[in-house]
Amino acid sequence: MEFSEFGRFFSADSGIFRLMDDIDAALSSPGQMHLLGGGNPAHIPEVQEAFRNAMHRILADGKHFERMIGNYDGCQGNTEFIAALADLLQRKFGWDVGPANIAVTNGSQSSFFVLFNLFAGRFSDGGYRKVLLPLTPEYIGYGGAGLGQQLFTALRPAIECRSDHEFKYRVDFEGLVIGPEVGALAMSRPTNPTGNVLTDEEIAQLRALAAANDLPFILDAAYGSPFPNIVFAEATPTWDQSTIFCLSLSKLGLPGLRTGIVVANESVIRAVAGSNAILSLAPGSAGPVLVTEMLRDGSMLQISDRLIRPYYERRAKEAVGWLESALGDYPWRVHTPEGAIFLWLWFEDLPISSETLYQRLKQRGVLVISGEHFFPGLEDDWEHRHQCIRISYGQDPATVQAGIEIIAEEIRGAYGSAAAKIA
């Protein structure tokens, strides 16, 4: 049995495949692995209770439940959910959006696969265009969207060292050149993996660059506002007809319901709906039905602002404190945690690669993600990408603290071995 090129691509190794495989292995062996690599959201009791109560109400209404599990939605998604979200975006941000500007997908990964392939690849004029990532590192899941084709071009960040053990990436606007080979600009805010939150001014500058070149600006807000709003810095969501704004229900605590959301102009929404029809007939109903009433009554925003965001902000500070205690004066830095559920660690002049560190930690029951997987489209083999790892602080505190201690032991051993060799 021989696979096509399409089949060989899907059967090959990839960063996102490894990530999800590690998550599954860790969850299948409770107590044996410290899962600091995956993107599973924390199980926040008050948030879970709110979703349980919403599900109980649906189950108590037989007709409502039967429609949710027994009927296809349209290929654009659940109409009641879309109408409720459009109304919220109008009220909350003053956006000029209606139901025709919103589509539901089977998770953000599906959203970005379609969007990137809409604006990158081979065009009718014979040209080949790419999605420009103005700031790397970026989300590990973007990399495979081209099914083996290189859909991305990317820019190295400027690095701002803020203290002995903290730094922040900045967009290198002076080096940002948009040529005819660019089909779209894209970025996440907060950024996965670093927790970076670009300022409103930086976002405005990127949108202006995209508009000046008649390009769409794709903004991944899976961790952002209005929900789940895991943002610790000032950040105002903005939208217009050339902006494609993407949301998700996953980081609210609902990753198993695979619900992605695209807010865009009507031509883009029609293309997304068409892809839903071809790939899966229609997006799933469970996520949209579960949260529709929470959008209408505003409780979704209250959950995000009063429960989810403060929880992660506390946990981020706690995890940074554990790092400071465990790593001491070794040459390490953490990216300023401004949002999302990860910490991005940079070990300057690391004597081993982050891939080797990943393998060593895995042998000791700690799962992280090595840094080189987070630079899609960056063609040069920048040594910095091999000195970083991403860890999640969203799991239970005991697991995170124990995992950090083991990371610190491996880091001390790596630098100590290198020093011994030099001596």
| Band of residue 423 on the pLDDT scale cut at 50, 70, 90 | very low
Give 48-70 pLDDT, tens digit per residue. Answer: 999 999 999 999 988 889 999 99
Q: Assess contact for 167 and 335: CB atoms under 8 A.
A: yes
Are residues 132 and 41 part of one domain? no
Are residues 343 and 287 part of one domain? no
Are residues 315 and 272 part of one domain? no
In a domain, 262, yes or no: yes
Using the predicted structure, report yes or no on whether residue 377 has a pLDDT greater than 50.
Answer: yes
The DSSP code sequence of 355-404 is: HHHHHHHHHTTEE-EEGGGG-TT--S--GGGGSEEEEE--S-HHHHHHHH
Give 180-194 pLDDT, tens digit per residue. Answer: 999 999 999 999 999
In a domain, 54, yes or no: no
pLDDT, the chain, mean: 92
Structure tokens at 259: 């619900």
CA angle 349, 352, 355 (to 5 degrees): 120
In a domain, 249, yes or no: yes
Are residues 274 and 153 part of one domain? yes
CA–CA separation, 393 vs 412, rounded Å?
A: 21
| Band of residue 39 on the pLDDT scale cut at 50, 70, 90 | confident
Are residues 128 and 43 part of one domain? no
Domain count, the chain: 2
pLDDT given at position 150: 87
Q: Which domain holds residue 340?
A: 5-47+303-422
Are residues 263 and 115 part of one domain? yes
More confident residue, 138 or 25: 138
Are residues 26 and 84 part of one domain? no
> What are the Cα distances from residue 407, in Å, to 6, 27, 357, 382?
38, 20, 9, 23
Q: Mean of the pLDDT values across residues 260-265? A: 98
**CATH classification at residue 195:** 3.40.640.10
Are residues 324 and 393 part of one domain? yes
Q: Assess contact for 261 and 104: CB atoms under 8 A.
A: yes
Are residues 331 and 215 part of one domain? no
Within 10 angstroms of residue 298's Cβ, the number of other Cβ atoms is: 12
Are residues 319 and 395 part of one domain? yes
